[in-house]
Amino acid sequence: MAKNKNKGKPRNYALDSGVYRFSASKMFHKKAIHKFLKKTVAKKPADKKPVFVEKKIKGDKNGGTRMVRVKKLTNNVPTMDVKTCILHTKGKSVFSKHSRKLRPSLTPGVVAIILAGVHKGKRVVVLKQLETGLLLITGPLKLNGCPLRRINQRYLLATKTSINVSGVKVPETINDKYFARVKSDNKVKKDGNIFENKKEDYKPSEQRKADQASVDKQVLEAIKKHPQGAALKSYFKAGFGLNKGEYPHKMIF
């Protein structure tokens, strides 16, 4: 007898380019689906288990009965767990005990690029790391207008250019408290015209101007001693930016 060529194949298979052997209506009759459309199977009624069971109370003075649940209810459990932190304990200044880690590329004297803020795109010199972990930087102010500032290291892009700042002496008074905001003594006048109460703009103190001048003078001397001092001055004055087709992840700074 001749062998069945369709053995092992499904009844309705694709002949070519999405065309099947039997149509949908043909398969409807072949499977006899019309016989099972109105056929329903009666569901068995579920056995209802009682929620409460009557139990007799034992004892000489207890002659009654009570209704007891078959399944005991859970206790009143809160929907959310209370978050507890081991570090946040009473009487401990946690922030002062945090470790201040610094990227190896941001050593004192490294020329870095500011990525955010008012002075973004400017090239600055890293002087030192303060107690809070912020970095002390300067423009210098004479070259690009960036004064002594604190900045988080995540907003700095380190370059391979560095300057020898071992001779630069930063005053000990320049710390985190040095950059704290000073509250104005001007009290708002309740009586009179409200437009008379004008907000005063920030003005640097004479002490800050003197510190800026002394630090910048030392940094400029360090730039001058660099083998490419003249080129570095124009390097600090020029702002950093990306043009079309330039990708930072393909650059070497």
pLDDT of residue 97: 75
pLDDT of residue 79: 75
pLDDT of residue 1: 60
Percent of the chain with pLDDT over 90: 39
pLDDT in tens, 8-58: 778 888 888 788 889 988 998 888 888 888 888 888 888 888 999 998 888
CA distances from residue 75 to 101, 133, 203, 221 in whole angstroms, order as listed: 47, 48, 64, 75
Supply the DSSP symbol for 180. Answer: P
**DSSP H or E segment with residue 139:** none
pLDDT in tens, 121-154: 999 999 999 988 999 999 899 999 999 999 999 9
SS3 content of the chain, % helix, strand, coil (to 5): 25, 15, 60
Task: Give Cα 138 distance to the centre of its chain.
Answer: 27
Instruction: Find the angle CA(100)-CA(101)-CA(105) to the nearest 5 degrees.
Output: 140
Higher pLDDT, residue 63 or 226: 226
The three-class DSSP label of residue 156 is strand
Instruction: List residues bridging with 171 in a β-sheet.
Output: none
Give 228's Cβ-side CA count (13 Å radius): 8
Q: Residue 119's pLDDT band (boundaries 50, 70, 90)?
A: very high
Instruction: List residues bridging with 125 in a β-sheet.
Output: 111, 138
Is 105 within 8 Å of 115 (Cβ atoms)?
Answer: no
Residues contacting residue 200 through CB under 8 Å, at least 6 positions apart: 184, 186
CA distances from residue 191 to 65, 186, 195 in whole angstroms, order as listed: 79, 14, 11
Picking from 206, 208, 207, the residue whose alpha carbon sits closest to that of residue 141 is 208
Picking from 165, 178, 173, 174, the residue whose alpha carbon sits closest to that of residue 218 is 165
pLDDT of residue 118: 92
Q: Residue 233's pLDDT band (boundaries 50, 70, 90)?
A: very high
Assess whether pLDDT exceeds 80 at residue 86. no
Is 172 within 8 Å of 235 (Cβ atoms)?
Answer: no
Overall fold of domain 110-181+205-240: SH3 type barrels. (2.30.30)
pLDDT of residue 109: 93
pLDDT of residue 245: 87
Residues contacting residue 216 through CB under 8 Å, at least 6 positions apart: 138, 139, 140, 141, 142
Averaged over 74-79, what is the pLDDT? 75
Averaged over 206-221, what is the pLDDT? 92
pLDDT in tens, 174-213: 999 998 877 766 655 555 566 666 667 778 889 999 999 9
Q: Residue 237's pLDDT band (boundaries 50, 70, 90)?
A: very high
Is 208 within 8 Å of 216 (Cβ atoms)?
Answer: no
pLDDT in tens, 90-112: 555 667 777 888 999 999 999 99
Is 163 within 8 Å of 233 (Cβ atoms)?
Answer: no
Instruction: Find the angle CA(203)-CA(206)-CA(208) to the nearest 5 degrees.
Output: 80
